[in-house]
Amino acid sequence: MIGKICGTGSCVPKGLWDNQKLMELVDTSDEWVRERTGVARRHIAENGETTASLAAEAALTALQNGGIRAEQVDLIITATVSPGDLMPNVSCQVQKKIGALNATCFDLNAACTGFLFALNTAQAYLARGIYQTALVIGAEILSDLTNWKDRSTCILFGDGAGAVVLRAGETGKYAQVTYSTGEKGNVLTCACRNQKRYAAGADAPETYMQMDGREVFRFAVSRVPEAIEELLKKEEMHIEQIAYFILHQANERIVRSVVKRLGANPDKFPMNMEEYGNTSSASIPILLNELNRKGMLRRGEYIVLSGFGAGLSYGASLMEW
């Protein structure tokens, strides 16, 4: 059995911060941010918006797009590093909000690779016939974890959620390669806001995202092409056979470097970080939903999804749309 995507959805907060807004917080400029990241705007949660509320709205739009009723869903997996509440998990909150009473629910944390790992996990359950219909969500409110005084990181991140609905079927294609490199995990960190652990309290520097940007860049531009090439070789396919490569939207320079290393057509690598920034687990499904709503994804074509992030972790998945 193969899980085929039958619906996509997304949701972003109403609050919008452009680069001029960041100029009020740190020493930067619109030109400087755009040149280094490709980001012009990011959505920021306000007025009670939570990771779970964004996730639920994205899930509902995905169900509507796929013509699936909430009670048909028997598995919900949410990828997130910013759940807001440790208990109950985001997936259980989504279940309650959308009325998916028959679903088993759990969250998964693999940072920016999270949606890809969650998708692989759902595929494994569907392949064994354990579940038939799955909601896979990537949802983040990274603004809660961002140090808005740190110019090197605050220019990058935004909030949002994306979701897909998978239905098990006997036809189609799905393959994946994934890796983790734990010995390099110290280049991208965020400590738990535990009062007993940090005498300085919840605002200790360690409790905000900290990143060695240069090392993360080197990691991404080398490992992502390796994973994609390994995947295509394993499946005996060529780059020309892939309609789109949907990469984690971390940085425009990273995506362009991957394109160059693969020797691929840049038109096959859509980007939207200009409008959203890096939304971690949410970036791939948000972009996937945009492409789907624009009618750019056609049944029978092949797409490759690739994520990379904290852990460090990375991978790529091949899917017949």
Query: Where a domain ends, among 141, 170, 199?
Result: 170
Active site (catalytic) residues: 112, 248, 278
Q: What's the number of domains the chain is made of?
A: 2
Q: Are residues 84 and 194 in the same domain?
A: no
CB 153 within 8 A of CB 211: yes
Q: Torsions phi, psi of 128, nearest 5?
A: -85, -5
For residue 137, give the amino acid letter: I
Q: Would the CA dihedral through 80, 111, 120, 271 be positive or negative?
A: positive
On the question of pLDDT at 196 being above 70, the answer is: no
- Across the range 189-198, mean pLDDT stands at 74
21 shares its domain with 75: yes
pLDDT digits (tens, 9 = 90+) for 131-185: 999 999 999 999 999 999 999 999 999 999 999 999 999 899 999 999 999 999 9
Q: What is the dihedral of CA 80, 86, 88, 94, to 10 degrees?
A: -20
Distance CA 135, CA 78 (A): 8
pLDDT in tens, 95-121: 999 999 999 999 999 999 999 999 999
21 and 160 share a domain?
Answer: yes
Last residue of a domain, one of 147, 170, 193: 170
Half-sphere exposure of 20 (CA within 13 A, CB side): 1
Same domain, 147 and 182: no
Looking at the fold, whether 43 and 101 belong to one and the same domain comes out as: yes
Is 256 found in the same domain as 144?
no
Residues 42 and 179 in one domain: no
pLDDT at 129 over 90: yes
**In a shared domain, residues 95 and 152:** yes
Residue 110 shares a structural domain with residue 219 = no
Top-confidence residue, 167 or 195: 167
Average pLDDT, the chain: 95
Task: Find where tokens 């969500």 sit.
Answer: 137
Q: Which of 170, 205, 230 is the last residue of a domain?
A: 170
Q: Worst-scoring range by mean pLDDT, 23-32, 101-110, 117-126, 185-194?
A: 185-194
Same domain, 125 and 192: no
Greatest Cα pair distance in the chain: 56
> Do 17 and 140 belong to one domain?
yes
Residue 89, pLDDT above cutoff 80: yes
Kindly write down the DSSP assignment for every residue of 229-289, as one continuous string. HHHHHHTT--GGGEEEEEE--S-HHHHHHHHHHHT--GGGS---HHHH-B-GGGHHHHHHH
* Encoded amino acid at 176, one letter: Q
Give the CATH number for residue 69.
3.40.47.10
For residues 255 and 292, membership in a common domain is answered with yes
Interatomic CA distance for residues 276 and 152, integer angstroms: 17
Given a cut of 90, whether residue 201 has pLDDT beyond it is no
| Domain extent at residue 254 | 175-320
